[in-house]
Chain A
Amino acid sequence: MSSARTAAVQPVAPHLDASGWPASPVGTPALAAARLVLLRDLTLAFRRRGELIQPLAFFAIVTTLFPLAVSPELSRLREIAPGVLWVAALLAALLALEFLFRDDAHDGTLEQYSLSGQSLAWLLLAKTAAHWLLTGMPLSLIAPLAAEALGVSGTGLAGVVASVAVGTVALSLIGSISAALTLGIRRSGVLLSLLTLPLSLPVLIFGARATELAIRGLPFTAPLELLAALAVLGITLAPLAAAAAVRISLE
């Protein structure tokens, strides 16, 4: 061995206990740890953009096929627009769910998270936030373009953006539970959809309703608030359930 390598590296040891080991159990504050998890997932996603584009491409294809299949008449398209947009958004969000925890379960990252001394639920919430930034947010940005092609205009577009943005937050969180539950299963795609769909029906119903009201130029805050309530419920409870499911899958 070269002499450079034998030089001892001083481990990071800020505060020591009686036997010479760090006294505080966790060095990194929870917020900084979550920021690292988020940054890591975003970095990884931009290294393989293929997976990123998949759900968006699916959404774009489905919504552009409808005018061809139904009728090019804008008045008729405007009528079915809320349903088309929301069913496509829901299925696109489902498509992206499979990638949420799968890779991290395979390479031992989730194992390391659960042994990190940090709250696993908190780290999974950060992962889910990254997932929303990579799927839900882009979806809510291209949704108005698809809506425009279906004859929606003006305030209707604002309603589409708001409802898809809030609704996908709830979908990502609901999905995080089923993604965690199906971790131990080899080909989990179908089961994942079966588990997630019934739970995400309220999101579909209120999302489509908000979009419909917005397109007709009526106030749409009531269904939007219900969507937001679902999202808040998800933020508080889903990470706990997902963390419990991840722990079981590690056994």
Chain B
Amino acid sequence: MSHALEAENLQLWRGERQVLRGVGFSLAGGECLQVRGANGAGKTTLLRAACGLLYPEAGRILWDGTDVRADPAAYHARLIYIGHEPPLKPDLSALENLRFWIGVRQPVERSVMQAALERVGADRWSTRAVRTLSAGQRRRVALAALALLAVPLWLLDEPTTNLDAEGQQLVGNLIEEQLVRGGLVVAAGHHELPVSAARVRRLELPLE
């Protein structure tokens, strides 16, 4: 039995402005939802609502058929959300960041973290303070979290931003593997994801 994520008729206001107007989608295991739209169309808002950080005024989000608000902690344990700024501490090294970030959720060995950093091509700077890394290098360190945490749902905001061509292909490969495992991916962004089209569903968010 594979997992499923559904959103029904989401309506969400930020102050006076209605950002989401009846947005809905349904996603099954092995599928990737690519959310597109102009700047300010509500891509980030939709992602944050999908992971339960924002509560929509109307509509609901269902994980395996149950409302995610029924047991937020159980739902959160099934997902990883990476915002457009990777949640890394500038004063800690890549390894320390991963240890504290992922370790709070799942116990991780140093060798496993090192392997994950190698996978995303970040092993050469794994002990340097993140402060000294470029935006693209930081993005790669954040991608290592995807290789470390075994959760079925990935919510990624602009996962390919700041990455070179090889890095973008890497994002595609990571997503592809997650889909093969039967996982679900929701990705927002302007760039086309390098993922085979058969697995991708699209959601276009209109502006106003």
Contacts and interface: CB of A to CB of B under 8 A. Distances in A.
A12 B103 contact: no
Contacts of A118: 73, 104-105
A29 to B, nearest CB: 9
A19 B152 contact: yes
A19 B74 contact: no
Interface stretch (A52-60, A108-116, A173-181): A108-116
Contacts of A123: 104
Contacts of B87: 107-109, 111-112
Contacts of B99: 36
Nearest to A13: B150
A112 B101 contact: yes
A19 B2 CA distance: 6
B27 interface: no
Contacts of A1: 121, 166, 169-170
A21 B78 contact: yes
A115 B51 contact: yes
Interface stretch (B35-43, B89-97, B195-203): B89-97
Contacts of B90: 107
Nearest to A29: B107
A198 interface: no
Contacts of A20: 181-182
Contacts of A119: 73
Contacts, number: 139
Contacts of B105: 26-28, 33, 116-118
B151 to A, nearest CB: 7
What are the 3 closest A-B residue pairs judged by CB atoms, nearest first? A117-B77, A108-B87, A25-B77
Contact of A25 (B1, B52, B74): B74
A47 B85 contact: no
Contacts of B128: none
What bracket does the count of chain B residues touching chain A fall in?
A: 35 or more
Interface in A113-136: 113-119, 123
A26 B107 CA distance: 10
Interface string B75-86: 011111101011
A108 B147 CA distance: 20
Interface residues of A, number: 45
B150 A116 contact: no
B18 interface: no
A9 B53 contact: no
A143 interface: no
Interface of B: 1-3, 29, 51-55, 73-74, 76-81, 83, 85-92, 96, 99-101, 103-108, 112, 115-116, 118-121, 147-152, 166, 169-170, 173, 177, 181-183
B76 A115 contact: yes
Contacts of B150: 11-13, 21-22
A44 B88 CA distance: 12
B17 to A, nearest CB: 15
Contact of A28 (B74, B103, B116): B103
Contacts of A27: 105-107
A123 B152 CA distance: 24
Given A9-B147, A13-B150, A107-B87, A28 B107 contact: yes
A8 B53 contact: no
A250 interface: yes
A20 B79 CA distance: 15
Nearest to A109: B87
Given A19-B182, A21-B183, A26-B73, 5 more contacts: A5-B119, A40-B96, A47-B91, A111-B83, A113-B104
